[in-house]
Amino acid sequence: MHVVLNNFCQIYGHLFFFSSVKVKLGKPELKLSPGKVAVGDSVDLFYESKSGSVPVDYEFYHRNDSVGKGKAEKKEDAKYQVTVTSITMTGPYSCALQNEVSSKMQLSEGVVLSVMEPVADARITPGEDELSVKMENNLCLTCSVEKGTSPSFLWIYNETIANKSGLFQIQESGKLLCIESAQLHHAGTYRCQVSNQLSSNRIFSVTSNNVTISISGEFCSWQLSTLSLYGTSIPVMPY
């Protein structure tokens, strides 16, 4: 006859008592999934420990600030999900664990979460939608974003990529487009496209306002031109 009663067992008239062995927690290892996120994403915090009995009390930290805690009856339940609301949430995270037989909390090493901020609100300055530039004058347009980690800038001029046209000076890592000695071919519509990326398949992009540039002023040079009169070329000066 075999009867199990709570924590003892009676077999053929003999009583056998069982006791569960509690094991201290080893040094935990914090895991982040994923380890690189954009603002607005969520990240899961959980731990791995090679030894230790459950239940376990756990707490997760960002730098020295607690971001979540609880009690887990199973190791896989000791996790916490954080929504990344700001670029300030980048930096080291750690976890601390304790069970019934641990005299103090066991602290993990810090693991760095990388947070990027998608680009937003691109704008060209000067802020006018239409600009008139005198012939042979200089002008610089500046493209900026309200926020965004490591933005890349691309200038579009009359639906072509201005960065590669050779008609402009692109400066300050692409932020600045300069026209030196404005000519008729500089007239047209300009805008900038700003992007950054979290990974090869997650690219963020915004487009600025359009700025239309017209070229005004004297269109002829003070060089001699010729007037053909009855087959004879006569040099004249322009007015």
Query: What confidence tens digit (pLDDT) does each residue in 107-131 have?
Result: 999 999 999 999 999 999 998 999 9
Among 61, 93, 113, residue at a domain's last position: 113
Computed from CA positions of residues 150, 156, 159, 164, in that sequence, does the dihedral angle turn out positive or negative?
negative
Residues 211 and 160 occupy one common structural domain: yes
120-165 confidence digits (pLDDT tens): 999 999 989 999 999 999 999 999 999 999 999 999 999 999 987 8
> How big is the CA angle at 48 (ends 60 and 96), to the nearest 5 degrees?
30
The dihedral through the CA atoms of 155, 161, 163, 165 has a sign that is: negative
Tokens (6 digits) for 124: 């060209």
Any domain includes 79? yes
Residues 137 and 205 reside in one and the same domain: yes
What CA–CA distance (Å, rounded) separates 45 from 64?
16
Contact 54, 75 (CB under 8 A): yes
Q: Distance between alpha carbon 181 and the CA centroid of its chain, in Å?
A: 37
Q: Which residue has the higher pLDDT, 203 or 238?
A: 203
- Angstrom distance (rounded) from CA 67 to CA 57: 14
In a domain, 174, yes or no: yes
- Residue 20 to residue 41: CA distance in whole angstroms: 42
Supply the mean pLDDT for the chain: 85
Cα(141)–Cα(190) distance, rounded to whole angstroms?
A: 9
Average pLDDT estimate for 28-34: 94
Please indicate, yes or no, whether residues 59 and 75 belong to a single structural domain of this protein: yes
High-pLDDT (> 90) share of the chain, %: 64
CATH of the domain at 174: 2.60.40.10
The model carries a pTM of 0.73
Q: Are residues 154 and 178 in the same domain?
A: yes
Please state, as a whole number, how many other Cβ atoms lie within 10 Å of the Cβ of residue 221: 10
Range of the domain at 36: 27-113
Domain count, the chain: 2
Kindly state whether residues 109 and 157 are assigned to the same domain: no
pLDDT bin (cut points 50, 70, 90) of residue 173 is very high
Q: What is the pLDDT of residue 233?
A: 44
Separation CA 139–CA 180 (nearest Å): 7
CB contact burial 208-217 (16+ within 10 A = b; e otherwise): beebebebee
